[in-house]
Amino acid sequence: MKKLKSNWMVKLIGSPIVIIAIIIVLMVSFSFFFLTESEEFGPVFIQEPDDVIFPLDSDEKKVVMHCEARGNPPPTYSWYINGTEVDAEADYRYSFIDGNLIITNASEVTDYGKYQCKAENSFGTVLSRDGTLQFAYLGAFSGKARGGVSVREGQGVVLMCTPPPHSPEIIYSWVFNEFPSFVAEDSRRFISQDTGNLYISKVQPSDVGSYICLVKNTVTNARVLSPPTPLTLKTDGVMGEYEPKIEVHFPTSVLAAKGVTVRLECFALGNPVPTITWRKINGNIPKKARLRKSQAVLEIPNIQLEDSGTYECKAENPRGGTAFKGHLQVYSESEHVLTPMDSGEKLQWECKATGRPRPTYRWLRNGLPLTSQGRMEIVNGELSIHKVQQADSGMYQCVAENKYGAVYSNAELKILASAPVFIPNPIRVIATLGKDVSLECKPRASPKPRIAWKRGDRRIQPNKRIMLLRNNTLRIVNASRADEGNYVCRAENQLGSAELTAILSFVLPEAMRVELTPARVEVTVGESVVLSCKATHDTSLDVAFQWFFNQKPINFQQDGGHFEYIQTGLFLFSYFIKTCFEALMVSTIQTCPPGPPGVVIVEEITDTTATLSWTRGLDNHSPISTYNVQARSPFSLGWQTVKTDPDPVTGDMESAIAVELNPWVEYEFRVVATNAIGTGDPSAPSRAVRTKEAVPSVAPANVSGGNGRRHELVISWEPVSEEFQNGEGFGYIVAFRANGTRGWKEKMVTSADSTTYKYRDETFPPLTPFEVKVGVYNNKGDGPFSSVVVIHSAEGEPREAPSDVRAYSISSSEIRVTWKPPNPEPGRPRGYEVSYWKDMEQEESGKKQRTVKNETSMVLTGLEGNSLYRITVKAFNSIGHGPATAAVTAKTRKTPPAQPPANLIWIQEGNNVSLSWDPVKAKDNESDVIGYMVSSLPFTAVTLAHFCKYECN
């Protein structure tokens, strides 16, 4: 959101006679009215927080929110995030340098929002305007393949980009076929910067190909590519002419901030290609406006309130026209005019602001809201203070705001004339005998008062031992008991006087002595220990005991149950249960590995190294011998030890460089300490950091190929893992050349997941040998190629039919077919397919049978008897079928007579048997009987069968 500086118009009107003299100091930009270099004044902002967009992938990983104020005395600062005060002690990620807020390891989840700086000194407090922190990032497109789009020639088409998650704005472009061949925008093609979609008003044959949406982040300059979208032409005709249809238009209601550049889009599909025109309803288009991209974009820079209105775009071609209207409304943030006035005992401030929508007002005093109560009265933007008093001094701010932003106007109210006042009064000073004592006298008064010190009724006269310093402090050198008593500081100016009483008393150096201190003890893990402390002291003084653990105060409430505090008389006991990874200054534990090291910080990152630092953990009374650096990434199986420089990392070191990392991989690091006892727990993981991009260093493996259709060269490889892609924009470079030729053909494959590339050229014959290698590239440059392999282009389907096809019947249900294979050539058969059908039927209704491997004969079974069949043979392989032979014919034999011989009579005479039967007469569709066959079964019966011309039963 645009920040506007306040305009201040100062007007001091009022009576020259006032009881309390006041001055109103208005702070305008960097000017300070009425102030000299030595004069004290409240804080005035020199620099306030700006809106910040921070790249999530920034190498710096630190966000700086700026704030600087001038004041005397110099102001102190504090910060608020979304209304909550920043606690730098509770969160190590926050730190202050002067007035600036430094955020380390900034997180979009916790740190996104509005930031406000507070500056304060003894004269008051002011709040800055808000600065918004947002984060810039660009996600990746979905890896899911996109379906193709097929349209008729002459038809309009819209190709969807569907961008990945991002912040803030992104720029869209489209790649045609191969990167970096970009789609050029003209009257026929348009890329919307609102949606990212590509619009082609009238498709031509030259538009056929593959389209890839490329998006670029305007802050980080990162870019990503979408999966390709194929565009093809339908073969069922050409699209005729049709009237325009507006596909891209601006909203019906456009809201824009004053001073920005407005961009209105309008584009239509149509045949012929439509023409776009613009106009402003009830007015003229501003002269500063510009038409871009074949008039598809109306751009209005530095927009002002008078540019509001209704705008229309119209699309026309010979078939007709259509239009779209939208209203543009301009808003502005608040701008101030502040007028302070005083008249007698009443101070009146009027705060006026302009803005659309009209702003509302609120007032702050020293950073806190003011409401109408007591002597304060607030009506709309006017603040009145009745009977102005010293307590009204401070920093005042009028805040004018509407829904688009807020601006702060600042002023300081000083009471420059007042009688002296001492706060607090009296004061007690406890000193040590023999030491120097200082008694301060700092009244609030204006003009500067005269100061005098007295003791009892006598005014103190400075000497060698008692001195009056320039700042009115009374200093007593080598104080003794005789100096004990009451001292009075009197301050007086023309408006009045006041006195401060300072009560001086002494304690002896030996008045407090520790008699019993904690002793050194050795304990076993799991046991309890009691530590005692006793002190003698002056009974007139209160004594507080405080215990420290590893130089840090013990929080007995938080650690209750582990540490326990009991005070009995003057004895202090501490009960606790030890663990291996704690050490007390009075205890010794010899049997524990080291504690975890402190937070691991990644100080510098390159493509293959990370410079790490950490703080020492507890050694648990056994010196740390070595540190082990571990890392994990999305590609590792948990935590893995990484190589370091130096190697090994000795126990006296607190930094090392992790080496041989993979570029463009996100890592977390931790450190483990080892001593003579063993290896301790690891440190907490560092923040996740990504190594920098680098040129790819790993080539694809297992490059091979073959098969495919005729005139195709099919090349395949194993894709390179994301772990080794080394950066964004990863893809493959496929290089090939026919054996014996010199130049390499190179083709870019933009998808990192691709495993195959097909090249088609009808000029080379089947099974042409090619030398092939596959390389890699990313946005940083080209990486290595694989080793060269020889791959043959596809042999294609068989090109000739088999020869010498013969077919003959071997029974009433079987026909044997034989043939000779075609001449050896590319497109070699992998088998044969025999088609057969009855003579009176269509070929499509017939049946097919395939040989096993390259056999050159086949027996067709299951046929009908006494039927004429037509038969063809064709070769096939993995690519397809070859041509079929001319059809040959063969007729199955007739079936044998269905009826058996009848009236069988047999007569036995000794060892002889005489048989007789009636002859079998064959039907027309049965074979003629040419004989009979007699078979006998011992001890049973005799059977008789006939046999015919072709077969016997």
CB distance 316 to 367 below 8 Å: no
Residue 262 or residue 334, greater confidence: 262
Residue 576: the pLDDT is 41
Give pLDDT tens digits for 801-834: 899 999 999 888 899 999 999 876 666 788 899 9
Show the tokens assigned to 905. Answer: 């009579």
Residue 948: the pLDDT is 57
Beta bridge partners of 434: none
Tell me which CATH code domain 701-793 carries. Answer: 2.60.40.10
Give pLDDT tens digits for 101-119: 999 888 888 888 999 999 9
Q: Can you tell me the mean pLDDT for 446-475?
A: 87
Give pLDDT tens digits for 546-578: 777 766 777 766 655 566 666 543 334 443 433
Question: CB-based burial of residue 444 (10 Å sphere; 0-12 exposed, 13-18 middle, 19+ buried)?
Answer: middle
CATH 2.60.40.10, domain 41-136, yes or no: yes
**Cα–Cα–Cα angle for 73, 78, 81, rounded to 5 degrees:** 155
pLDDT exceeding 70 applies to what percent of the chain? 85
Same fold, 145-240 and 419-507: yes
Residue 344: the pLDDT is 43
Nearest to 296 by CA among 176, 194, 206: 194
How many CB atoms sit inside 10 A of residue 442's CB? 14
Do you know the residue count of the chain?
953
CB distance 430 to 506 below 8 Å: yes
Give the pLDDT band (50/70/90) at residue 470.
Answer: confident
CATH 1.10.287.130, domain 339-413, yes or no: no
Does residue 376 come out as left (phi exceeding 0), alpha (psi in the -120 to 50 range) or beta? beta
Q: Rounded CA gap, 383 and 392, in Å?
A: 13
Amino acid at 467: M
Q: Rounded CA gap, 713 and 735, in Å?
A: 12
Fold of 419-507: Immunoglobulin-like (2.60.40)
Give pLDDT tens digits for 866-915: 889 999 999 887 777 888 999 999 999 888 787 888 888 878 777 788 88
Give the pLDDT band (50/70/90) at residue 408.
Answer: confident
Nearest to 363 by CA among 346, 375, 380: 380
Q: Which residues contact 358 (CB under 8 A, 6 or more apart)?
A: 402
Helix (H, G, I), strand (E, B) or coil at 305: helix
CB distance 943 to 935 below 8 Å: yes
Per domain, the residue ranges of the chain are 41-136, 145-240, 241-335, 339-413, 419-507, 601-690, 701-793, 797-952
Return the DSSP state at 182.
B
Q: What is the DSSP string of 546-584?
A: --EETTEE--TTTTBTTBEEEEETTEEEEEEE--TT---
| Strand spans (E) along 29-91 | 31-32, 41-47, 52-55, 62-65, 68-72, 76-81, 84-85
Q: Rounded CA gap, 308 and 294, in Å?
A: 24
Nearest to 415 by CA among 121, 118, 73, 42: 42
Q: Report whether pLDDT(324) > 60.
A: yes
Nearest to 136 by CA among 169, 171, 94, 103: 169
CB distance 629 to 640 below 8 Å: no
Show the tokens assigned to 552. Answer: 């840090």
Residue 514: the pLDDT is 61
Task: Give the right CATH number for 241-335 from 1.20.1250.20, 3.30.1320.10, 2.60.40.10, 3.40.50.2300.
Answer: 2.60.40.10
What b/e string do you get for 274-289 counting C-beta neighbours within 10 Å, with b at 16 or more?
Answer: bbbebebeeeeebeeb
Amino acid at 881: H
Q: Rounded CA gap, 452 and 446, in Å?
A: 17
Nearest to 574 by CA among 523, 626, 518: 518
Q: Rounded CA gap, 784 and 733, in Å?
A: 10
Strands 405-415 and 22-28: antiparallel
| Strand spans (E) along 558-652 | 564-568, 571-577, 587-588, 601-605, 610-613, 624-632, 640-641, 644-645, 649-650
Lowest mean pLDDT among 304-318, 397-411, 766-780: 397-411
797-952 homologous superfamily: Immunoglobulins (2.60.40.10)
Give pLDDT tens digits for 496-540: 899 999 988 887 655 556 666 666 666 555 567 777 777 666 655
Give pLDDT tens digits for 195-239: 999 999 999 999 999 999 999 988 888 889 999 999 999 988 888
145-240 homologous superfamily: Immunoglobulins (2.60.40.10)
Q: Which residues contact 255 (CB under 8 A, 6 or more apart)?
A: 329, 331
Give pLDDT tens digits for 271-284: 999 999 999 998 89
Task: Give the right CATH number for 601-690 from 2.60.40.10, 3.40.1280.10, 2.60.15.10, 2.30.30.60.
Answer: 2.60.40.10
